[in-house]
Structures are given as structure tokens and as C-alpha cells.
Amino acid sequence: MATEDKNRATAAAILPLVGGAANVSSIAHCMTRLRLGLHDRSLVDDEALKAVPAVMGVVDDDTYQIVLGPGTVARVTPEFEQLVEEGRATAPDPGEAAPSVSAEELAAQGAAMKAERKAKNATPFKLFLRRIANIFVPLIPALIGCGIIAGLNGLLVNLGWLTSVTPALAAMASGFMALIAVFVGYNTAKEFGGTPILGGAVAAIIVFPGVANIEAFGQKLSPGQGGVLGALGAAVLAVYVEKWCRRWVPEALDVLVTPTLTVLVSGLVTIFGLMYVAGEVSTAIGTFADWLLSNGGAGAGFVLGGLFLPLVMLGLHQALIPIHTTLIEQQGYTVLLPILAMAGAGQVGAAAAVYFRLPRNESIRRTIKSALPAGLLGVGEPLIYGVSLPLGRPFITACVGGAFGGGFIGLFNQLGDKVGSTAIGPSGWALFPLLDGNHGLGTTVAIYAGGLLVGYFAGFLATYFFGFSKDLLAEFNVSQEPAESTVAASGAPAAPTTGPDSTPKEPAGV
């Protein structure tokens, strides 16, 4: 089957299982997930979706998220959008068939269900983190592309090859980072309900070379001072100024006065306040990260690597995105991401141990075999939701594996060998092209590879020897029905049934 046909077939398989085109209110995607806004969540068939070959898992959050994996999601989404448009165009007139309930009743039911789902995840802190993610996640493809080009350029420079081409590669790699504040400002204004271009205009002040001639707090400003944090604050301020103007400026003058006052007021505050304050905060973040790994070393890496999987499960990992971006702006790479990526290595090792500890459970072993390649490339959802989390203990021992891998890399950071990533997003083996450090590419790659191996082996050993109680082994090390493909559907009487967006109510064997 041609790739286009395969992607369209996947989209066609998904659409009826989420309630059809009429049930889809919005479509978007991130690195690995198709994110859908749905009118009526009750029309979704979760189990049938999980059975679609290309679907790695589902997550029910503020949007309904279907895990397809990197690359695949970017190809399936346009096909899905096209099918939705076609479905809406050919949908019958609602007046042709008399509904069993009134439209008002259906709308009320849908609104109540949506409100109930949102209430579970609508804590102020989580809403704030979701907004932060919505600002920075769209920038990840550019960060990855420019990061890989930067790595290639560094390799060519070190080898002395293609000297006439390397300046051009350097421009390609650095251009986006030089203007990233503008993109952050644009996305921030869009996310907070303002005019995106005004947010970008105010943020552009931060990277304008002419700010070097301005003095604030007794010192000259420098272009880029404050970075993405300054751009974030400037754009949020611009949104509030704009909204104030929309309320008080007469309509006849709105088109002239509102954008002028928005840029003027927020621009002055940015130049004479935010740039300095955000610059100090950004510097403190970089200094703290260096201090933490220089002094904490293995201990800091152990804690960071061990806690990352729980942070991901709670959605708190989104708070790290601006920190990663700030470190990349300042140092050219983030030293935190390679350590956090060890959580995925622990997950892979734990899954391998489960595979060997449950030789009779064809269902779990089949899930592991299909999900392991994605896990090696840093896509951990299938192994988390399909294997370790429903089993309980293996999720904990996977965290132990990540802790040891993070400790290994943290130790080398303490010894002076920094290991960083020039972009955020990828993990596992997919992070190799983005690695950078202070002692050459060979040393950096070797340390990161060593951390992965430590994570694999630690996760495997911890799970193999401590991941199963006798009761858990007796419950799961049995032959399963061939048609069932996940731990959650294993059919064992006491096996927990888990939704992909939440931890099991009562993890087995813990």
C-alpha cells in the first residue's frame, strides 16, 4: 500500500470511531498526537481506536488525543482534516430526520459532559501549564530542524570539510534562534486572546539591535536580553493593554489608537523594565542549572531522571519547556533534556523485563514487541499506557531505571563533561543528532549512549527482580485470548482497567 493510501486509511479508520465528522470541533497535532476537540465524548469508541494498527494509545484530556507517533501524525492529520471537510460537506440536512431528542437537549448534554471533563483537569496551575505548552510546542519542529543543522555544521567545522558551505549552514541554524522571541510573542498573544501580530511586534523589541543604545537600571541593554521569558511577559502585557483599549477606545478610533497604544505602552514597559528583569531571571536559570549539575552531579541527575515519568503523567513536565528554551538561547543547548530522556530508557528496560517475566502472556509480549521500537526512539506512551502503568510496580521500577541513567549523565556533568541537546522534543535514540557539549561530539555521544545503557540495564534489573510480586506473576503469567492486545484488556479478574489519560485506580501488585 502506498504511503498516502496508508495514511488516508488510518484517518478513515479513526474518523467513525470518534463520532464522525459532525462530532469533530477542532483538529490539531503535536509531535506524536492527533488532538481533537469533540462535541460529544460519549460517541468515541476507545477500545476500537486502540485496536487501529497505527494507533499507539489514546489520552482523554482537554482535547481527545490519539497517539500516532512522530512522523505518522504529521501525515495522517492532513488526511483526517480532508475527510472531516468531506464528511461535513456531504452530511445530510439535520432537518431531514427527526431526532429522538431536541437539539437543545443534545446541546445541554454535550455541554454538561464537556464541563465535567474539563473540571477534572481545570486547576489553575494545569491550565497555566497547558497555555505554556500551547505557546512553545508549535516551535519544536523549527528547533529540531535548526538543531540538527547546527550539529551537522559543527561536525563539518571540526573536520574542516566544506568550508564554503558551513557559513550558510550556520546562518540557517542560528536564524530562527535569533528571532525566537518574536515567535514566542506571536504565539503568546494568540493563546491569551490578543492580536498575534501585536504580540510579535512588542516581542521584536527585545531582539532589535538598537536597544544596545538604551540604558535601563544604570546599564546598557543588549539585544536579546530577557530572551523568551521577556517575550512571554511583553506579549501578555500587550494582550491586557489591547483588551483595555478595546473596551474604552471609541470604535471610530479603534483601528488607529488601539494598536498604537498597545505597542507604545507595552513596549516602554518592556524596554525599561521587563528586559532587565527577565534577563536577570534567565541568567539565574542558567546559573542554577550549571550549579545544580556541577555540585549535585549524580544525585541531581538521579532525582531528575527518576521523577520525570511521574511529572509526565501529571502534565507538570510542561513547566520545563521555557527553561529548556532559555538554556538553549543562552548556552546553545539544554543540559537538562539528556538527563530527563533517561526516563524513557528506564521504561524500555522495564518493558524488556516484563517480556521475559511473563513468557506465557502472549498479549503483553505482543504489545511490548510492537511498542518497543517506538520506545527506543523516545515515544514512550505505548509502553507506559499499555504495559508498565497498568501493572503498577513496573512503572515504579521504570522510574528507578531512569534515575540511574540520569545519575550517570549527572556524574559526568559534575566531572566537567557537559551533555546537552540543541533542541527539545526528541528523546531516546532520536536525540543523538541533536547532542552537543563542551568536549567534542564523540565524548558527548559516548556519555549519552552510556546513560541509555545504564537506564536500560537498571530498568531491566529493577523490574525483573522487584517488579512482580508472587500474586502479580500468578495473575498475569498466564495465556491470554489472542484477540486481546493490551494489559488493560487481559481478561484477568483482578486486572485494572485503565484509561490512557489516568493512572490505574488500583495498580496490580503494588
How would you write the pLDDT of the chain (510 residues) with one tens digit per residue? 566 688 889 999 999 999 998 899 888 887 778 889 888 888 898 888 888 888 877 887 778 888 887 778 888 989 999 999 888 877 654 444 444 444 455 445 555 554 555 555 556 777 777 788 888 888 888 888 888 888 888 778 877 888 899 999 989 988 988 899 999 999 999 999 999 999 999 999 999 999 999 988 888 899 999 889 999 999 999 999 999 999 999 988 889 999 999 999 999 999 999 999 999 998 898 888 888 888 888 999 999 999 998 887 766 777 788 888 888 888 889 999 999 999 999 999 999 999 999 998 888 888 888 888 888 888 777 788 778 888 888 999 999 999 999 999 999 998 988 999 988 877 889 889 889 888 888 899 999 999 999 999 999 999 999 999 888 888 888 875 544 444 444 444 444 444 444 444 344 444
Rounded CA-CA distance 245/194 in Å is 11
Using an 8 Å Cβ cutoff, are 357 and 477 in contact? yes
Backbone phi, then psi, for 114, in 5-degree steps?
Answer: -65, -40
User: Which grid cell is 279?
Assistant: 534577563
Query: What is the greatest pairwise CA distance in the chain?
Result: 77
30 in catalytic set = yes
Residue 164 CB neighbours (<10 A): 6
Q: Which amino acid is at 494?
A: A
Sign (positive or negative) of CA dihedral 187, 188, 194, 196: negative
The residue annotated as part of the active site, out of 30, 146, 245, 399, is 30
| Cα-based angle 208, 211, 217 (whole degrees, multiple of 5) | 140
Burial class (CB in 10 A: 0-12, 13-18, 19+), 426: buried
Stated pTM of the model:
0.71
Residue 248 CB neighbours (<10 A): 11
Residue 366: half-sphere exposure toward Cβ, Cα within 13 Å:
17
